[in-house]
Structure 1
């Protein structure tokens, strides 16, 4: 028992150290992997409790009760009817689950439910940057539908059951191709086989310019901006949404990294034109001139897709933000 208590204490110390280092930025955490490990470890404790520790405690408690009954019967045979002592308290103490099982086996059902919901159903995210303004603001807490594009195995993200295809205009969470441990959120602009061009702040898909409608100005509260920007309504596929642009074109778009199929992209002073390869997508932020996206680092492979953003469920600084995502 002492060994198990010490082992559990060591595991909790390792968990606290891992979370602390993650919070302090010493390393990138992988919450999916962490949940899988926690589920596996607590399952092992739950099985040990169910088939070993609990039966052992029950046998010990039963032995105590049987011994007490036999002692009382022997004393009664000698004419002693009144016997001091009540073993019920001791029996309950024997049956009591030790802390190291209560904090492991006892947590298994909760952790399992969280693991299943987060892996196959819905996952919460927090918007960390202004690349999707005005659709999503910094601090928005969003919910991502993970089964919309198919069922994927947790951690390795391999699709095992197909569902809906990514549609042009969807707001998608995906693993950043340059660093898959980091999640990004952008809008799907180009589908496999599309030719996507962003020239002179205008978007073209398969040679056709995507029309926009002026919606006045929007005050961008991003600490790096803090200014009014022209706001437009744009329609991609069946999705109508808003975008922001700089009033004056920013610096030319340049390739930041060599990426798979980079030969499919042509960079000029006017912008960039790319042919989307099979099994890949071209993603862009709605804050068009303040977003590092596929224009700069390339295509997103299908295996990097995490899910479709569907809901802002909270923004503690602005409760009016709660609602569906277009």
Structure 2
């Protein structure tokens, strides 16, 4: 009778430990799976994508937009779509893959790109710029425009409306992409540090789920609740 009781207790104890381990691991595996395959949050650290993305915008990025990477690797496990011109994407910074950047995709593999004062021509076709009357003069920005090519339209800004100057010419190698910021005169992008390898693409920017003017002084990664930009919450990124 005693031996049976001891065996039963051991079995119950084993079951309890298995349940405890599963209870502990399941949420971690779920979070890891979502971040790996579905969406991952990022915070905009700089003004290179103003006026479309602001500093302290918290965004969600679709990790599955183009395919899936092998976990903890730059290698694609499976890929079902290629990034499209005009999309905003998160990628690993070519000069330091531990750092993530977010920019707009301008050049596809094989494209010839000519840039004069932030104005873009791809394969002989100039991006159409339509001037816009938007605030920004106080910060020195004198020219806002809607940029349009391949049915993709978005707002860009410049420090001036000057169009002349010496051209920069780039030819995008196969397996690489050319990215630029929408804040054309205040963006460190492919004009400065070159092309982004296809393997470094992380995902497509999707939605702003939180935004604030400033963070807490003691916790710079947490938004100040008194300075939430409510008008930007759940704003689609395009």
- How does the TM-score come out when normalised to structure 2? 0.81
Confirm or deny: 8 A CA contact 1:217 1:229 kept in the other structure.
no
Residue 199 in structure 1 maps to residue 111 in structure 2: no
Partner of 1:313: 209
Paired residues in the alignment total 216
Residue 152 in structure 1 maps to residue 48 in structure 2: no
Change (3 A) 1:108 1:205: same
Partner of 1:115: 32
Change (3 A) 1:65 1:301: closer
Partner of 1:266: none
Among 78, 89, 97, which residue is 1:161 paired with? 78
* Deviation, structure 1 residue 188: 0.3
Change (3 A) 1:107 1:297: same
Partner of 1:298: 194
* Deviation, structure 1 residue 116: 0.5
* Bigger Rg, which one: 1
Partner of 1:79: none
Residue 140 in structure 1 maps to residue 83 in structure 2: no
State the Cα deviation string for residues 91-119 of structure 1 (Å, max 9, x = none): x9x89x79xx96x6542100000000000
Structure 2: distance between partners of 1:198 and 1:234: 14
Q: Describe the SS at the equivalent of 2:199.
A: helix
Structure with greater strand share of residues: 2
- How does the TM-score come out when normalised to structure 1? 0.60
Partner of 2:224: none
Confirm or deny: 8 A CA contact 1:175 1:305 kept in the other structure.
yes
* Deviation, structure 1 residue 212: 0.4
* Deviation, structure 1 residue 202: 1.6
Partner of 1:63: 6
Partner of 2:132: 215
Task: Identify the structure with bigger relative contact order (alpha carbons < 8 Å, sequence gap 6+).
Answer: 2
* Deviation, structure 1 residue 143: 0.7
State the Cα deviation string for residues 57-116 of structure 1 (Å, max 9, x = none): xx99942999xxxxxxxxxxxxxxxxxxxxxxxxx9x89x79xx96x6542100000000
Q: Pairwise mapping of residues 245-260 of structure 1 onto structure 2 (< 5 A)?
A: 245-247=158-160
> Which segments of 5 or more consecutive residues in structure 1 lack a partner in the other structure?
1-58, 67-91, 250-268
* Deviation, structure 1 residue 230: 1.9
Confirm or deny: 8 A CA contact 1:172 1:186 kept in the other structure.
yes
> Which segments of 5 or more consecutive residues in structure 2 lack a partner in the other structure?
213-227
Q: Describe the SS at the equivalent of 1:142.
A: strand
Q: Describe the SS at the equivalent of 2:133.
A: strand
Q: Describe the SS at the equivalent of 2:56.
A: coil
Partner of 1:170: 87
Structure 2: distance between partners of 1:271 and 1:62: 85
RMSD: 2.8
Among 133, 143, 154, which residue is 1:230 paired with? 143
* Deviation, structure 1 residue 297: 0.2
* Deviation, structure 1 residue 142: 0.6
Confirm or deny: 8 A CA contact 1:142 1:313 kept in the other structure.
yes
Q: Describe the SS at the equivalent of 1:243.
A: strand
Change (3 A) 1:116 1:64: closer
